[in-house]
Structure 1
């Protein structure tokens, strides 16, 4: 971890100087961390199991309180349900102990869990009645900073020009109270002071503060992720996207190493990579962000990821469609050239057979007249011409085929079409189209696993669509799957599914006429089908 923090600024400098090689190494490190994430999670679960095993009937209330607090701290950024459950247990034990300080502290932990899950109303209901004035300074500081975070997060979630400013002002008032209680050399004091400057629009002050923090030795992975993610937000506001991406990668790695599921780093990273045109990595990381949000139960993160995910997947589908069209064009050229070769082979075979017949006739007619000799010379000339023609044509053809093959390999090498040579000789356009549609079906149903059931709910039982064995979607469902993905133009749908515009219109009209809802609201109902 020490090497991570001390080398961060150097990595950012090298990335500005050297460019993409450093970025590639950072992304490779992130991919490696994602692959190792089950091991990090397993270690956390091992720690949790050890704590849970320490709970038994013979321990005192004070010991039970301490264990519940440790379990809460393990779960607070890992799983909402468990964190909430232990926060409630912590509160129950605190009341049983009749200890005001512990009661206040337990309720603060409960509020932390609620705000982390995006339950803003519940957070307010839980905290606004809490009076921390008589609590120790450390507890009061945590209460005021939590209230500050609550208003900051609420402002970010609303993202409104009027209310966000008001919420940020309220949050900064609470942060003022918290900063008076934290030790000035502590991480919390430095971080919240920088956050207060950021929310107050003092960008340069906030940037300098977070740069000082991230240069410290001995930061925990979660602290590194928190500072790097916040500093990345400042770089995004300044338009320094490359530096922001590098910091977000670092933050995402640190989140994985600390098994932090309540995180926005990898979500923001996916969004920035998508804006830079890196659709492949953006798709991987947005799916990871959605998975983390679902695992933790962070509602606001799921909403944010759900807003970006269809856009990225739509871009992926468009890219696949473009690749398919290019492949079909190349396949058509290859097929044409193969047909030319077959035609030439037939012609040459027929001519060679004729020449052989002529040779046999010449061997039996040594005594023929000058006219026959002339015919023989003419036949030999024909033979020479055809053989020369054959070799010239075949030489040119094989040269073209070789160039064409190299061009295909060069163009498709990055797309991993390892079987291109096999495809060149065994073109099956129908199979390619089926594979493309099958791929679309899988991606779509991954986003909308209940689409078929929800779609059929719009029809009477006898009018519902029944898929054949092995089918994921059929044409009827694909049309409205594309509409659900945001592609509503008939011409675009027709191009994607390779039908005429009139055919698509006919399909849509027929389906709408069978539905239980009015025709004019049918597509609106389809758009209301929920994603995962």
Structure 2
């Protein structure tokens, strides 16, 4: 029974962790979606730089390269602008009779038409390119464009009559493209993953897609495509947690690039709608971003796909808003009831206030009594310290006398008075015994008066410099020195006399302890404040 309960607890905990992780990923995506205008502005600045280079071009060759670069930057950003530069590039290449650039711009035009949803026109344009005489540098782009034409076309048809034949053509041209991609490159790994996925739906395709993520940055279109492909693969394997994570990664990359021809946000919005209707507000936000991108790019396929899912998501969002309105109405009703209750409480509180005033007067009288008792306690504490100080003064005088006698004996010894020598020896023993007796009685008396002194004193020291007394009723030399200081014996000479040490030794002990204090500048003042009785606060 306990094992089953523990297992259920672990499953619940893991589920909660997964929910939090998923929410964190979505919040991270939200932060990138919020910065969409910044990424678009950055891309527009890059486009302006390329346009400036086009205006500075002096030869047809330079202009053709400039048109090619502008197509590449516009291809996934804006259909109409990309088509403008493809047409201009193709016209210039034909005037210059440059066969390589003629084929290059025809390939670009075919890929662009396929992306925009003009599949038969794209096919006609790409078939005008002679693959056998094509320049080697263009063959990868040619077969890549052919593969993507049939990929888009198959997705558009999505039936059992035409889609299978289009899918076979897609796989054929994918394999052709792989043979011209530099082995081990990001494009090679991506195309290999695509061929494995569309060929046998091989889970190993994910390995190649992940290699792409390691080779390119978040601001690269291949990153977004590979992340989306990984998400698609994990969804097939039933790993919905990883499907969602990589779909978010693809969405983030789409924003950073930025790509207006994208799919991740569109699919994520549908997934969130189906996962939990509580995500409908976020799903609506994502699908509107996707629609905005599709309209900006002028992608007919994406607009058609979004138009199919938008009504369902908007309907769920409207239902959520209706639910919130219902809860708001109930909340207002509850608030009204609470307001009536609050009014009743106010009336009751007015009645109780009179009773409270009477009790307050009684409490003030009691508090004055407590203040009187506290002052008496403080006075008793001061008397106690005065008595102890008197005891210490008497002890100091007594010990001083013993020390004087000891010095007298020493002088007798130097003078050769042997009779006095024995008296001197006996006197030293008496002095040592008196010192031990003094230490013992002082320690016990002080600890009885201030049982928390050692604990509070250690509170002034660093954690690695704590002092451990030899027993509960005894103090160390360091503690004894600062116990005397707490009692008001601040003179090092006086402390040295009481404890049978030299003044320098007392100074050394003080310095060593001060070095171990948390607050060195106020250490001695802090010692004086230990174990003081705090006056009670004044009454209400």
- Normalized against structure 2, the TM-score is what? 0.58
Aligned to 1:111: 110
Counterpart residue number, 1:172: 171
**Contact 1:133 / 1:140 at 8 angstroms: preserved in 2?**
no
User: Is 2:175 aligned against 1:211?
Assistant: no
Matches within 5 A, 1:27-42: 27-42=26-41
For structure 2, the 5+ residue unaligned runs are: 1-13, 356-540
Contact 1:245 1:273 in 2 (8 A): no
Taking the aligned partners of 2:315 and 2:170, their CA distance within structure 1 comes to 38
Query: Are residues 219 and 328 of structure 1, via their aligned partners in 2, closer, same or farther at CA, if it must alter by over 3 Å?
Result: closer
Partner of 1:45: 44
CA separation in 1, counterparts of 2:218 and 2:25? 20
Write the deviation string for residues 245-274 of structure 1: whole angstroms up to 9, x where unpaired. Answer: 111111111111111111111111111122
Q: Per the alignment, do residues 296 and 16 of structure 1 end up closer, same or farther by CA in structure 2, a change over 3 Å counting?
A: farther
C-alpha distance in 2, partners of 1:185/1:344?
A: 78
Partner of 1:274: 273
Deviations 1:397-456 (A, max 9, x none): xxxxxxxxxxxxxxxxxxxxxxxxxxxxxxxxxxxxxxxxxxxxxxxxxxxxxxxxxxxx
| Distance 1:58-1:50 versus aligned 2 partners, 3 A rule | closer
* CA spacing shift, 1:340–1:70, aligned 2, 3 Å: closer
Q: What is the correspondence of 1:130-279 to structure 2 with a 5 Å cutoff? A: 130-216=129-215, 221-277=220-276, 278-279=279-280
Given the superposition, is the C-alpha separation of residues 312 and 144 from structure 1 closer, same or farther in structure 2, using an over 3 Å criterion? same
Structure possessing the higher relative contact order (Cα contacts under 8 Å, 6 or more residues apart): 1
SS, match of residue 117 in structure 2:
coil
CA distance, structure 1, for counterparts of residue 200 and residue 152 of structure 2: 16
Residue 320 of structure 2 aligns to a residue in which SS? helix
Deviation at 1:239, TM superposition (A): 2.5
User: Judging changes above 3 Å, is the alpha-carbon distance between structure 1 residues 291 and 313 closer, same or farther for their aligned structure 2 residues?
Assistant: same
Structure 2 match to 1:326: 327
- Quote how far apart the aligned CAs of 1:65 are: 0.4
Q: Does structure 1 conserve the Cα–Cα contact (< 8 Å) formed by 2:47 and 2:73?
A: yes
Q: Note if contact 2:254-2:260 (Cα within 8 Å) is conserved in structure 1.
A: yes
State the partner residue of 1:405.
none
The answer as to whether partners of 1:267 and 1:286 remain within 8 angstroms in 2 is yes
Deviation at 1:202, TM superposition (A): 2.5
* Equivalent pair of 2:186/2:211 in contact (CA under 8 Å): no
Q: Flag the 1:17–1:167 CA change in 2: closer, same or farther, 3 A.
A: farther
Q: Give the root-mean-square deviation of aligned CA atoms.
A: 2.8
The 8 Å contact of residues 174 and 194 in structure 2, kept in 1 or not, is answered as no
Matched, 1:129 2:128: yes
1:16 and 1:211 map into 2 onto residues whose CA distance is 26
- How far the C-alpha of 1:43 sits from its partner, in A, is 1.8
The answer for unaligned runs of 5 or more in structure 1 is: 1-14, 353-386, 392-532
Count matched residues.
337
Q: Would the alpha carbon gap of residues 327 and 101 (structure 1) be closer, same or farther in structure 2, given more than 3 Å must change?
A: same
Return closer, same or farther for 1:57/1:120 CA change in 2, 3 Å cut-off: same
2:313 paired residue number: 312
- 1:130 and 1:169 mapped to 2: Cα distance? 21
Cα deviation per residue 1:75-123 (whole Å; 9 max; x = unaligned)? 1111111001101111111111212121111100111211121221221
Partner Cα distance (1:183, 1:337) in 2: 73
Kept in 1, the 8 Å contact 2:186–2:215? The answer is: no
Please state whether the residue corresponding to 1:59 is helix, strand or coil: coil
Q: Indicate the structure (1 or 2) with the bigger Cα radius of gyration.
A: 2
Which residue does the alignment assign to 1:87?
Answer: 86
- For 1:296 and 1:81, the matched residues in 2 are separated by 8
Taking the aligned partners of 2:250 and 2:205, their CA distance within structure 1 comes to 18
C-alpha distance 88-343 of structure 1, shift in aligned 2 (>3 A) = same
Instruction: Report the TM-score, using the length of structure 1 for normalisation.
Output: 0.59
